[in-house]
Every structure is written in C-alpha cells, then in structure tokens.
Structure 1
Amino acid sequence: MKVLEGDFTVRDVRIALVATRFNAFIVDSLLEGALDTLRRHGVPDERLDVVKAPGAYELPLVVSRLAKSGRYDGIIALGCVIRGGTAHFEYVAGECAKGLGQAMMQHELPIAFGVLTTETIEQAIERAGTKAGNKGAEAALSTLEMISLLRKL
C-alpha cells in the first residue's frame, strides 16, 4: 500500500497572501501569523507577495487573477466577516467561500481559506491569535502541505 501525504518542507515556493482591509484590526493579526509561519518554515520574504483587497466579497476575484498569472504555487486568502443584524453576513461569507473554492478548482492551485466567519468580534479576536490560536498561521500550514502533496501526485 502506498500512502501519499504532504509535509511542510517544500522548497522554492512562491506564495501570495491576499488580505482584506475591511476588519483590518483582525486581519492584520491573521496576516502576521501566516507570514511568521511561512518564514519559520523556510520561505524567504522575497518569495512572498502580500496583496490587499477591499473586503471578503472581493477576495475571489483578486485570488483568481493571481492564480491565473501562474506565478504562485499557492495563495492564502485572509479576511474576517462578523455577523451583524442583517442578512449581509450570509451573502458576503457565502459568496467569498464559493468564489475561493471555484478559483481553487479552476486553476488547480492550493488556495487556503483563512477567512474568519464569526458571530461576534470576540470570537474573531480569539481566532486571530489568542485563545483559539491564529487561523492565519493554520492557513499557511495548510498551503505548504497542499503544495507538497500536489508535487507528489
């Protein structure tokens, strides 16, 4: 039996991190967590590009354009959508998730979903580096593992 799985030791990777400006007080922590993780796993700054998008709704278009460029081995999408008193949350979060999934499949490129979808600001803060860890760091690890796995397939 042969088992294939990725690891975190990929070399010569180029990664784009797309972070939203909306809810920057949360997303900036996700971005720092992702960058720290990538650096700790040997990815030098000159192989990393950070792109700022207005909000989560715009992430899929920006990510798709970067994927289409062929310059990247993986992309990390970072954002934060916090539920409010209207249905706006469902539309933004749903279209963001659907669009990022479509981009990943269309371009056959690892695209990590580092977009927080929380009920409260407190939950977002917990997932951006406090009680619940840093979901940006987790997205970075997922990206490295997927790049490694795809190279083995």
Structure 2
Amino acid sequence: MATSLKNLNDYKKEGFGDISEKKFGIVVADWHSEITDVLCAGAIDTLLKHGAQKEHIFRNTVPGSFELTLGAQFLAMQEEIDAVICIGVVIKGDTKHDDYINHAVANGLTNVSLKFNKPVSFGLVTTNNLEQALDRAGGKHGNKGVEAAAAAIHMLSF
C-alpha cells in the first residue's frame, strides 16, 4: 500500500466480529526497538479498542525481522492462539540485505499462515531510511502496527 495515498490508521471497521474471546500472539523484532515498540503499542491498542482482553494478548520478542517467521510459527503452533501479528523494521542500507530479508519474511509468514490455517499479519515496515520508518510508526503516515492488528481482526471475522 502506498502510504502517501492512505494513512495506515485508516481501515474499514465494519464487519469486525467479536474478538473478546480471541487470543493474539504478537511477535516483535528487537532490532530497531525504538520503532518496533511503537508499532507493537499501536497493535495492542487496536486490539483492545476492538474488544480483545489484555490477558489474551501475548507479546514475544525475536532478535530481528528475519526471525519473525520462526517466532510466528512457534505461536501459530499453539492451538489456543487465534491470530499472530508480526512487527518488524527493515531499513535499506548500503547492501541488498533488505531485499533478501523482506522477501524471506513475506514468504515465510505466508507459509506459516497457510500451514496453520490462521491469520498471520504482516506488520513489517520496509523503508529506504530511518525517517520513513518513523513516519510509519505513529508519524505522518500512521502506524503500521495498527494496520497489522486491523488485518488480523478482519481475517478472524472472515
């Protein structure tokens, strides 16, 4: 989604089902924690706003965005977890590492979702620089964590 065209906090709220008994696992990359903590807070606030119980939200931390896939799988394996939200940041650098990580995480999370037949939402911020990442962590483009939580809620209502 082009965030210059739509704010990450703007999502369709109609048709969301009751999530008061749903359990959510959140996997957060520790790399760039100054950003991922804000993204995670946005996701948790969104879940609570739509009726999730605080005690039904479980946050787990992994070292970096590359490890989100395995972290998501560990959570999705748990029968009581209804949806997994993945939060991370990959900022383009001097090498092509971002291409490899972004591609691996996108494919990995899709595979986890399909393997366990559960929503696994993609809250990975992929930017060219730190300023763009901050713009997507509560800045001028909203909060990617909000969007990821809304996607998980929507998919549970499907």
Do both proteins adopt the same fold according to a TM-score greater than 0.5, normalized to the shorter chain?
A: yes
Q: Deviations over 1:105-137 (max 9, x none)?
A: 111100000001111111100001010011101
Matches within 5 A, 1:130-149: 130-149=139-158
3-state SS of paired residue (2:140): coil
Show the counterpart of 2:72: 63
- Identity score, percent: 37
Equivalent residue for 2:36, pick from 20, 27, 32? 27
Q: Deviations over 1:11-37 (max 9, x none)?
A: 310001110100111101100100111
3-state SS of paired residue (2:21): coil
Q: Deviations over 1:35-66 (max 9, x none)?
A: 11111111111010000011111110111121
Show the counterpart of 2:63: 54
Q: Aligned partners of 1:11, 1:45: CA distance in 2, in Å? A: 10
Aligned residues: 145
Equivalent residue for 1:80, pick from 63, 83, 89? 89
Equivalent residue for 2:24, pick from 5, 12, 15? 15
3-state SS of paired residue (2:123): strand
Q: After TM superposition, give the deviation of residue 10 of structure 1 in Å.
A: 2.8
Q: Aligned partners of 2:17, 2:134: CA distance in 1, in Å? A: 27
Q: Aligned partners of 2:19, 2:71: CA distance in 1, in Å? A: 25
Whether the aligned pair in 2 keeps the contact of 1:6 and 1:146 (CA below 8 Å) is: no
Show the counterpart of 2:5: none
3-state SS of paired residue (1:49): strand
Q: Aligned partners of 1:58, 1:135: CA distance in 2, in Å? A: 19
Q: As a proportion of its length, which structure holds more helix?
A: 1
Q: Aligned partners of 1:64, 1:35: CA distance in 2, in Å? A: 20
Kindly report the root-mean-square deviation, in angstroms, between the aligned alpha carbons of the 2 structures. 1.2
Which structure 1 residue ranges, 4+ long, deviate > 2 Å from structure 2?
8-11
Q: Aligned partners of 1:111, 1:95: CA distance in 2, in Å? A: 15
Show the counterpart of 2:4: none
Q: After TM superposition, give the deviation of residue 6 of structure 1 in Å.
A: 4.6
3-state SS of paired residue (2:95): coil
Equivalent residue for 2:137, pick from 123, 128, 133? 128
TM-score, with length taken from structure 1? 0.91
Q: After TM superposition, give the deviation of residue 68 of structure 1 in Å.
A: 1.2
Q: After TM superposition, give the deviation of residue 148 of structure 1 in Å.
A: 1.1
